[in-house]
Amino acid sequence: MGKKELTDDEWKKKLSADQYKVCRQKGTEPPFANEYYNHKEKGTYHCVCCGQPLFSSDNKYDSKTGWPSFTKPIHQSAVTEEPDYTLESIRTEVKCSNCNSHLGHVFPDGPKPTGLRYCINSTSLQFKKS
C-alpha cells in the first residue's frame, strides 16, 4: 500500500465532520458513546482514512475506559508513535503509519503480556469481520 497523503481540504471532503475532527485534528470522541468500545466480534480494525489494517480483535480488551483498547497493534509497523505535549502530562500519540491519521494514545498501564493500553478512538477505525 502506497503512502496516502491528501491535502487538508481533500481530507475534509472525504471524511465526515466527526472523522475529520478526530483523525486530522487530533480530537477525542466521548467515552462510552462510540461505536467500538464494547464491540466483541472477531475481525480487524482498519484505518477509516486509508484502509490500512491497524488492530486485531485478538488483542482487544475491556479497559473500562469507554474507548476501544488494545494491547498492541496488528503489526508494529502499522502505527507510528510520537510524544504529545498538549496536556500537562506527556502522552504518546498513536498514528496510522500510512496516512498519519490520529488514532489515539498508548499508555503503560495495560494488561500482560505487553503492559500497554492502546486507547483508540472508534471514529478513526472501521471494523471488518473475519
Alpha helices in 1-130 (DSSP H): 8-14, 17-19
Return the ∠ at Cα 38 (arms to 41 and 14), rounded to 5°.
Answer: 80
Name which of 50 and 116 has its Cβ closer to Fe ion. 50
Choose among 61, 90, 54, 94: nearest CA to 75. 54
Active site residues: 119
Return the ∠ at Cα 59 (arms to 114 and 45), rounded to 5°.
Answer: 130
Find the shortest distance in angstroms from Cβ 32 to Fe ion.
25
Name which of 94 and 119 has its Cβ closer to Fe ion. 94
Residues that bind Fe ion (CB under 5 A): 47, 49-50, 52, 96, 98-99, 101
Find the shortest distance in angstroms from Cβ 109 to Fe ion.
26
Name which of 2 and 108 has its Cβ closer to Fe ion. 2
Distance CA(17)–CA(4), nearest Å, equals: 20
